[in-house]
Chain A
Amino acid sequence: MSLSRRGSGLVELIASLSLTAVLAVLVGSLLKSSAGRLRDRSERMALEHTLRVAVAALRSGLESLGRDSSGGSDLGAIGSDRVVVRAARASGVACAVAPGAITARLGPGWWSALRQPVAGRDSLLVDAVDSAGRWVALALAAPPHPGVCPDGAPALVLPVAGAPDQSNGLGAGSPIRIFEDVELRLYSSSGAAWLGIRSLGTGEAIQPLSGPFAAGGIALGFVDRTGGVATSPGAVVSFRASLAAVTERAGGVGIARGTPAWRDNVTVAVTVRSPP
């Protein structure tokens, strides 16, 4: 009786250990594949987000560019993987113009800004009211300060270099654009390529805006009015951007190690809204 029980116990033990081992292998492979798929999914979401951010940045930076004979072009330099633009930081309308200062009306519908204008970093474009299509470019000479319009409405006084006055054609009702020159370009860092942005006025180092991209993963093309390749910034009427982003796999940690990175491409063509 006791011998029979010992033999039966050994068989049960071997069978249960075998079943446990089989189950452990099955569950392990299930966990590994699930974690791998989860990781791939999240990386592909990040990949799509990278492309969305890059397209939105290029579109918003280049779509609103304009040009006139006096204020020049909003496009400063063009290249296959870089562009220099006047990036809008604020906009408003002048209620008074005096030598050395332009007074912008404040309030909803009058003044909108991503941030406060900064002297030495930002400049102004002010539209002349006496003749069509003539903008005057002015440097912001000192920090803006609160003021009032001639009718008593709250205002922001923008000290400017030079001597803008009525003879320049600026006056009440002149639209104002506050802008800074920024560079958007592809650059390499930590073994990957990134879309970066930097202000040229401050000389700051380039900061990542979106990425990572494949090597040479940003190709910009600029088209002139005839449909040919634009050779100067002032001739650009549309642009085409081809972006190739890759997933980020820093370190390859976890049980999904070794899965190859994903890659996705997008091409966007945008017509400049205020072409020459």
Chain B
Amino acid sequence: MSRRGIALLVAVAMLATLGAIAMTAYTLARAERQAGLGALAEVQAGAAAEAAATEALAGWPAARTPTLPGEEALLARVALPGPAEGWSVVRALGGPIFAIRAWGVRRHAGGAALAERRLALLVRLVSTPSGDSVRPRVEPHGWQAITP
């Protein structure tokens, strides 16, 4: 009777210890996987933002350029595998310098955002020879990554 009780207690204690170790290992592995997926999602979101900014740097029709301080105009939208999406706008700052702001979002298959990246470029606008479109020229010190 006494020996059976000790064996049961020892067995339960060992199973509990092994169970705790297994649960901790599972939790660690899950956290490591999520950290890896998060890092990948951030890279994809950054690539989407940069793609949208690059599209904007190709220029746009002069009539679309905002004039009032704070006014914005959508310039580009991109979709990348992942799925990730990016978009960019040009924002008037009240002088000859404008800001191109770009966002990139890597979404879960269900639509929820897994990671987001934002960046901004300070530019001056140069008219094309025909005068109907403008091309932005990036200012020195003009690139800025913005943490969401």
Contacts A45-B28, A109-B91, A110-B70 given; indicate if A273 touches B97 (C-beta within 8 A).
no
> In the complex, are the beta carbons of A34 and B145 less than 8 A apart?
no
**Chain A residue total in the interface (Cβ 8 A):** 44
> In the complex, are the beta carbons of A173 and B122 less than 8 A apart?
no
Contacts A132-B137, A172-B94 given; indicate if A38 touches B144 (C-beta within 8 A).
no
Stretch at the interface among A64-72, A198-206, A219-227: A64-72
The 0/1 profile, CB within 8 Å of B marked 1, for residues 32-73 of chain A is 001101100110010011001000000010011011100100
> In the complex, are the beta carbons of A49 and B18 less than 8 A apart?
no
> In the complex, are the beta carbons of B141 and A177 less than 8 A apart?
yes
Query: What secondary structure prevails in chain A residues at the interface with B?
Result: mixed
Decide if B82 is an interface residue (CB 8 Å cutoff).
no
Decide if A267 is an interface residue (CB 8 Å cutoff).
no
Q: Which residues in A have their C-beta under 8 angstroms from that of B69?
A: 95, 105, 172-173
Q: Which residue of B lies closest to A69 (CB)?
A: B140
Q: Which residues in A have their C-beta under 8 angstroms from that of B22?
A: 34
> In the complex, are the beta carbons of A274 and B138 less than 8 A apart?
yes
Q: Which residues in B have their C-beta under 8 angstroms from that of A127?
A: 97, 122, 139, 141
Contacts A35-B21, A129-B97, A172-B95 given; indicate if A66 touches B142 (C-beta within 8 A).
yes
CB distance from A259 to the nearest CB of B (A): 16
Stretch at the interface among B29-37, B57-65, B104-112, B127-135: B29-37
A166–B138 Cα gap in the complex (Å)? 23
> In the complex, are the beta carbons of A173 and B97 less than 8 A apart?
yes
Decide if A168 is an interface residue (CB 8 Å cutoff).
no
> In the complex, are the beta carbons of A45 and B140 less than 8 A apart?
no
> In the complex, are the beta carbons of B28 and A173 less than 8 A apart?
no
A182–B142 Cα gap in the complex (Å)? 20
CB distance from B39 to the nearest CB of A (A): 7
Residues facing B in A80-137 (CB within 8 A) are 88, 91, 93, 95, 105, 109-110, 112, 125, 127, 129, 132-133, 135
Q: Which residue of A lies closest to B140 (CB)?
A: A68
Q: Which residues in A have their C-beta under 8 angstroms from that of B142?
A: 66, 175, 274
> In the complex, are the beta carbons of B25 and A37 less than 8 A apart?
yes
Contacts A34-B21, A52-B39, A175-B122 given; indicate if A93 touches B140 (C-beta within 8 A).
no
A200–B139 Cα gap in the complex (Å)? 27
A-B CB proximity, top 3 nearest: A173-B95, A66-B141, A273-B143
A-B contact pairs, 16 of them (CB 8 A): A31-B17, A34-B25, A38-B21, A41-B29, A45-B35, A48-B35, A52-B35, A66-B142, A74-B141, A93-B94, A95-B69, A127-B97, A132-B137, A133-B140, A175-B142, A274-B139
Interface of B toward A, CB cutoff 8 Å: 3, 14, 17-18, 21-22, 24-25, 28-29, 31-32, 35, 39, 69-70, 91, 93-97, 99, 101, 120, 122, 124, 137-146
